[in-house]
Amino acid sequence: MMLSFAAIGSLGGGLNSESMDAAVKRGIDFVGADGGSTDIGPSALAGSGTIHPEATTRHDLELALRSASEAGVPLLVGSCGTSGRDWGVDWLAGMVRDWARAEGKNLKVVKIYSELDKDYVKGKLRDGKLHALHPQLPYDADTVDRSERIVAVMGVEAFQHALDMGADVVLAGRASDAAIFAAHPITQGIAPEVAWHAGKSAECGAAAATPPKLDCVHVRLDEDSFEIEAMDENLRCTPMSVAAFQLYESADPFRLAQPSGVLDTTDTCYEPVSDRAVRVSGATFEPRDGYTLKIEGVEYVGWGKLSILSVRDPVIIEHFDEWLESAVEMARKRVREEQSPELLEQTDIRVHPYGVSGTMGDWEPTPTMQGHEALLLVNVTSKDPDVAETVANIVWYTLLHQPTPYAMGYPTLAFMFAPPVLDLGKVYAFNANHVVDVESPIEPFRFVTEEVNGQ
């Protein structure tokens, strides 16, 4: 048994037509594309945009549709519209409709919706069928009510059901990245360990190559292994690049949890078969007793304001930690005394010092100033937009002229924008890190068929 596919890692992130043509020429049984991620945070699930704009998403989707059509194979897209919310599925469905009519193609499109009704989630909670993952977040009926939107993350079975319905194109809500690429191979008789590991390795396309790139890869699977090759002639898949990719978005690169079980890559062998392709074998798959689906939810936490300042004063830089601590404390004191203690309690004030520990915060192993300047990103959030505006202005102005005891004079910082306070709008947070027990792997999902007549 042998099966091949073309994998697109981030639909809308940039896809090379020559690479897709090369994959089709090698022979493919389906095209798979990951359309989303939680990497950009919770705003997409709340309804605030997508990771990629319509123009680039349409470009990549049309290339994928053309390639699948030329090869006479299905196209599977998961996590449509970044977050997999229902709107994202419909968004891509509109683009498919436009392409089919422009090209004169008849397509059977199966849409899989993954948004959950709040009563469904409360029922799982009430019946003891909702379980926390690590790190545990508190979750109760009030959490459900506060949620702007909740989705379930589907495994291979939802895609398989859509293909059984005769889909030419599957547009799915939130999905396991690897499941997009593992579903069809498992249906066709490829061993789960081979299919899941191939899916994991190909889920971000040529990110598993060197140098990594947002482009497609070609994957060929057989009974006990798979080969992965980047289609851009300037890229190479090497044992190191493919093995290293297992670390991506993985708390443990050797044990990768999926809805139906755990992929164990401990004894995997990565062998070069050419200077651009790698053969992978040796993984195992441990089926889980029972079936669980991860849920993702978001809630509104406040209105955000942002200021960006830079400091280059050598005396402040020399005593940076002391100066920043005193400046933030002075800003908080001003809010408390000039406004009210209650107003301060309503506000979250965060100052991220880039050049010191802005990226990793408290996890930074070397949180000391080593350069000649620092960038301060001031983030203020409050449920009341007017409160956020007031506090943000107090904070930036306090930082602007906060003195240091190690120098005379009136210190000044530089601003990137004027006015200094930028409006971030509504700010959201993820509020679920849980799984739910289900009777069937497709229990919470809704399947809708659309016959697109392009002729």
For every residue of 152-212, DSSP letters joined together read: E-B-HHHHHHHHHTT-SEEEESSB-HHHHHHHHHHHTT--HHHHHHHHHHHTTGGGGSBS-
* pLDDT greater than 70 at residue 287: yes
Tens of pLDDT, residues 220-265: 999 999 999 999 999 999 999 999 999 988 888 899 999 999 999 9
**162 and 261, same structural domain?**
yes
Whether 232 maps to a domain, the answer reads yes
Residues 283 and 308 in one domain: no
CA nearest to 154, candidates 12, 11, 292, 255 = 292
Q: Which helix (H) or strand (E) holds 230?
A: strand 225-230
Are 124 and 436 in contact by the 8 Å Cβ rule? The answer is yes
pLDDT for the residue 157: 98
The predicted model gives 66-85 an average pLDDT of 98
Helices (H), 177-319: 177-187, 192-202, 239-245, 314-318
Omega within 30 of 0 (cis) for the link into 403 = no
| Structural domain includes residue 436 | no
The whole-angstrom separation of Cα 39 and Cα 203 is 14
pLDDT of residue 251: 84
What average pLDDT score do residues 125-150 get?
A: 96
Query: What are the backbone angles phi and psi of residue 211, rounded to the nearest 5°?
Result: -70, 150
**Is 219 inside a domain boundary?**
yes
20 and 72 inside one domain: yes
Domain identity same for 255 and 304: no
pLDDT at 173: 98
Instruction: Say if 121 falls within a structural domain.
Output: no
Residue 367's pLDDT is 84
Average pLDDT rounded to a whole number, residues 351-379: 93
212 and 75: one domain? Answer: yes
Average pLDDT across the chain, whole number: 96
User: Shortest CA distance to 391 belongs to which of 357, 428, 341?
Assistant: 341
Residue 176 shares a structural domain with residue 263:
yes
pLDDT at 1: 66
Whole-number Cα distances in Å, 47 to 77, 185, 273, 421, 422: 20, 33, 45, 24, 21
Residue 322's region, left for phi above 0, alpha for psi from -120 to 50, else beta, is: alpha
Q: Given 3-state DSSP classes, what are the helix, strand and coil percentages for the chain, each rounded to the nearest 5?
A: 35, 30, 35
The count of other CB atoms within 10 Å of the CB of residue 348 is: 16
Residue 221 falls inside a structural domain:
yes
CATH code, domain with 352: 3.30.70.600
- Note whether 58 and 170 are same-domain residues: yes
Under the banding of pLDDT at 50, 70 and 90, the label for residue 344 is: very high
pLDDT at 203 over 90: yes
- Which structural domain range is residue 251 located in? 3-114+154-291+442-453
How many domains does the chain divide into?
Answer: 2
Reported as a pLDDT band with limits 50, 70 and 90, residue 369 is confident
Q: Do 207 and 230 contact (CB within 8 A), yes or no?
A: no
Asked if residue 165 belongs to a domain, the reply is yes
Say yes or no: 65 and 185 in one domain: yes
pLDDT the model gives residue 136: 87
Percent of the chain beyond pLDDT 90?
92
Work out the average pLDDT over 276-298: 96
Q: Is the pLDDT of residue 128 over 80?
A: yes
Residue spans of alpha helices (H) in 36-116: 43-46, 54-71, 86-103
Per-residue pLDDT reduced to its tens digit, 326-340: 999 999 999 999 999
Do 350 and 250 lie in one domain? The reply is no
In a domain, residue 407? The reply is: yes
For residues 326 and 281, membership in a common domain is answered with no
Q: How many CA atoms lie within 13 A of 356 on its CB side?
A: 22
**52/48 Cα distance (integer angstroms):** 12
For position 214, what pLDDT does the model report?
Answer: 87
One domain, residues 286 and 318: no
Q: 134 lies in a domain?
A: no
For 172-195, write each residue's pLDDT tens digit. 999 999 999 999 999 999 999 999
pLDDT band for 145, please (50, 70, 90 cuts): very high
Q: Mean pLDDT across the stretch 39-52? A: 92
Q: How far is CA 356 from each of CA 136, 321, 351, 363, 371, rounded to the nearest angstrom? A: 30, 9, 12, 12, 9
272 with 407, same domain: the answer is no
Q: Check residue 342 and give its pLDDT.
A: 96
Task: Give 431's pLDDT tier (boundaries 50, 70, 90).
Answer: very high
